[in-house]
A and B are shown apart, each in its own frame.
Chain A
Amino acid sequence: MRMSAAVPATRPRSAATRPARRRAAPALPVYSGPFGEAQAERLLWRAGFGPRPGEASALADKGLRGAVLSLTHPPRARLEGPGPTDSKGRPIAPGDAWGHDHLWWLDRMVRTNQPLVERMALNWHDWFATGDVGATRLNLAQNSLMRRRALGSFSALLTDITRDPAMLLWLSGTENSRDAPNENYARELMELFTLGAARGYTENDVRQMARALTGFTNDWSRGVGPHRFRFEAKRHDGGVKRVFGRRGKFDWRDACRLCLENRAHPSYLVTKLWSYFVPTPPAPRTVSSLSALYVHGRYEVRPVVEAILMHPDLHEGPRLVKPAIVYVAGLLRTRGRPLTTESWTWLSHLSGQMLFQPPNVAGWDEDRWLDTATICGRWKAANTSLQDQEIDTGDQTYDVAETPEAAVSSAIAFWGGPGITPETRGRLLAFSQRCADGIEHRWQQRSYRVLRQNALRMLVATSPDFQTC
């Protein structure tokens, strides 16, 4: 997730536990500038995985409000186009074959008609970052939970995640019993999931919260693996705990509730949620307005997301570096291409993001996607996305008189005509011209133009313009 330069400092502990005061929050501004194809393109990248062919212009026709509401209230889920296969044309096996869980989800990102739902599932995967628990079906079940609760109540999501089998395994929830407390989930519940590090809780709260969370257990059998996840009263520490200055015989549901009611929670949630869509931190008044929206809406996420997607900061502010998997999915989605090789797993990994394998429980670092290693991975992904679409030098129909300008325009159009800055266009044109200058023999007239077009498509897909949105 993105760093929260702007998560407000917490109050002293006594204040942190007072219920949030209800007061009129400043109204949230709505972007009022033009909403054309360029704005729709940005929205589709921020709230999804980029436009499919024709999608940006269709979205632009709805206007900003209509566009945002169409994303937050999508039609019935449908995956469009041919399904994913391995490189031998066989269907994938997400529950069984290595890396196919990644392919399965990546394919949904490429083919979904509910891009924001899929994007929110990705955001929750980053938020409650759970790695491979050794039982893929449990990771996939958690994924389905995040999709089901994508735009719903955070309270319901937190409750479900706390008892989710993959999470219970990942953060030692079923290892946490009255006789052998384990602080793993308690700490991250507060530090990462609801409050933020050192905001509104103490080390003692971690230990007390761990006691409240005791009681989950599961069985394990050969061949089946972990199963029969349940809460057992006899494993639960039923004693009095003192959390956030409050005393009670708290259990796991109380643990979730106490976190949601902690004063440090709403600002943490809205700031973190904002960071998935907008690269600049929200102004303090924006945080308080969004927090009020969230609390008055009884922890519903959809209205908060709608307010963020309509906010002027998203539409008028600087560009956002596309998360690695968004870039990768976008390469295929923009071209309407299906997944036809399992290489997408390691290509995504090299680009910096393998689904179901977050680097740690804090998720991916949204602020540092690009470096000299991941940019090489993105290049390789673009290269693979172009396999089977390249023009062959044996193609005798290729325009032997194509001008450098026409070649550049054609390569940009190949990617659905994304907005390309004059800076990039200038360099593409220079490259195009240099290639033409290199033609020395008659036989090179066509073949160099073919090679040039293949190369230009790579340069567009890997340009700073296409890495960002």
Chain B
Amino acid sequence: MALHCRNFSRTQFLREAAAEAGRGLPNVEPGMPMPAGTGLDRRSFVLRSAGLALSVYGGQKLGFDALSAGVAQAQSGGGQRVLVSVFLEGGADSISILAPTGDPRYRRLRPTLALPGSKGSPFREDRRLRWHPVAAKLAALHAEGKLTVMPSIGYEGPDQSHFTSRHFYEVGARQANLPTGWLGRYLDLVGTPDNPLQGLALNRQLAPSLAAGRNPVSAANSVTDYTYTAPFVFDDVERRLHQYLPKVGEAHLGSSDPALREAGSIASDAGALRGQLGRYAARGVRSPVIYPGSKSGAGSVGGGVGAGGDMFPERLAGLAALLDAGVPIRVAALTGPGDHDTHAQQAKSFGSDVKLTADSLFAFQRDLEARGLADRVIVHVWSEFGRRAQENGSKGTDHGAGGIGFLMGTQVRGKMIGEFPGLAKLDPQGNLRSTSDFRALYSSILEQWFETDAGAVIPDASRFGRYALIK
């Protein structure tokens, strides 16, 4: 099989299923830019995780009660606009999702991977392109005007390291050493120092793009399994045990040892999160629509049930339920199914991964619509880069530059941003030239969706153009 620089083989994918667990998120290797949230030294680094910002501005002194109060306070503030960030990890092959079947060079560059001409539906904004059949649900959303497509998004001087390029997207700048994520900086601007749920990563680990400099953010593997039980502990003693999970942690908030302070701060945040998510533990999430992998038409999602075991649909279902319950989330971050780093035998994993991604996003959109939440949520789908135009000798593709991006929601304009650059004029590395810029996109989201000054979040925001995104 041999897919990749890092990979999820089909086997592994199924194994994940049995594990009822999600995927890892941020990782960076020595010498690479530090992931957002790590800070430049150990001291600021250890403040990075769920409780990082609390420490920096003295908010770490806030205990469980203050955080609970903060969440409640935020909740009473009414429904905020929400951005959901979905990361397609590994560098998704834009050239396969929207196949340039009408480009004369396509079949020569992709002799084994090219989409047969008659397959898939045409992309109505550019007749050279066809939707891959596995992305049919994205085509449907596009036809409804609920999907904006960026056929080749990127930046100048594209970096071909997964970790570096991903880092740029996460921090919202072409800067190696920015210690905060762009969404984290947004939360610093508009969030509060006592509501860790304002930025929620539905994953085993925090998404670096959420890493804030000042305000707390959080991560949860699943909204249906955030339980803290102990063998032969019940009644009053169990209730007290749950009180003391954060209380033992809080004893270390003033510690001079960074690791103790970090562990204590996270125990404190975990106590707050348990209070919020505990209600879903017993009964799972009831969804008004059917997500991929749901057991029945009843729309019940939970307990690790998901397509092929991937938790993406379940997490989206959980997110919709949390928003419906009024949980004060402003930004949520998820990682899409599978691994897009398809150096070899791309066809083996590409179709199922993209299909599950597209079907899940479609279900999420319908779920939001059924719950009456659709007008206050948009979803941004991104990947660290696209893949090289010319397939390699392993029926796969190496790292490229310009990649795919989507914005989904009832409030997005649904008009293509940038254009497909064509295969005739590739960059010197043989990659797609980008026709839209991620920093311009972020600035536009901040201004038009969040009605916030982009200059306060994105470095040199004024240097970048703006796209009309919102109706």
Contacts and interface: CB of A to CB of B under 8 A. Distances in A.
Given A131-B7, A371-B205, A363 B27 contact: yes
Given A3-B38, A174-B2, A464-B267, A386 B205 contact: no
A293 B5 CA distance: 32
Main secondary structure of the interface of B (DSSP, over half): loop
A373 B25 CA distance: 12
B273 A357 contact: no
13 contacts: A3-B32, A98-B15, A169-B1, A191-B31, A346-B19, A346-B21, A360-B27, A371-B50, A431-B241, A448-B236, A454-B233, A464-B248, A468-B263
Interface in B387-419: 392-394, 396, 398-399
A459 B45 CA distance: 26
Nearest to B242: A455
Given A373-B203, A455-B240, A196 B230 contact: no
A371 B233 contact: no
Contacts of B110: none
A113 interface: no
B231 A387 contact: yes
Contact of B24 (A172, A345, A359, A452): A359
Contacts of A464: 248-249, 252, 255, 259-260, 263-264, 267
A219 interface: no
A459 B19 contact: no
B267 A424 contact: no
B183 to A, nearest CB: 16
Contacts of A238: none
A43 B9 CA distance: 38
Contacts of A7: 30-31
B237 A435 contact: yes
A454 B232 contact: yes
Closest 10 CB pairs between A and B? A180-B393, A196-B31, A359-B24, A4-B30, A360-B6, A464-B263, A175-B394, A423-B251, A362-B29, A451-B237
B371 to A, nearest CB: 25
Contact of A372 (B25, B27, B220, B252): B220
A279 interface: yes
Contacts of B220: 372-373, 376
B2 A5 contact: no
Contacts, number: 323
B27 A175 contact: no
B242 to A, nearest CB: 10
A363 B231 CA distance: 33
A374 B205 contact: yes
B259 A321 contact: yes
Given A268-B30, A452-B237, A134 B11 contact: yes
A450 B30 contact: no
Contacts of A197: 29-32, 161, 163-164
B331 interface: no
B459 interface: no
A187 to B, nearest CB: 8
Interface residues of A, number: 108
Interface string B244-273: 110111011001011110111011011001
B73 interface: no
Contacts of B231: 383, 386-387, 389-390, 454
Given A191-B31, A370-B266, A182 B232 contact: no
Interface of B: 1-2, 4-9, 11-12, 14-15, 18-21, 23-32, 34-35, 37-38, 40-42, 45, 48-50, 160-164, 196, 201, 203-206, 218-221, 225-238, 240-241, 244-245, 247-249, 251-252, 255, 257-260, 262-264, 266-267, 269-270, 273-274, 343-344, 392-394, 396, 398-399, 429
A391 B260 CA distance: 30
A435 B255 CA distance: 27
Nearest to B249: A464
A184 interface: yes
Interface stretch (A58-66, A140-148, A249-257, A347-355): A347-355
A183 interface: yes
Interface in A396-427: 421, 423-424, 426-427
B215 to A, nearest CB: 15
A306 interface: no
Interface string A351-385: 01010011111111101101111111101100100
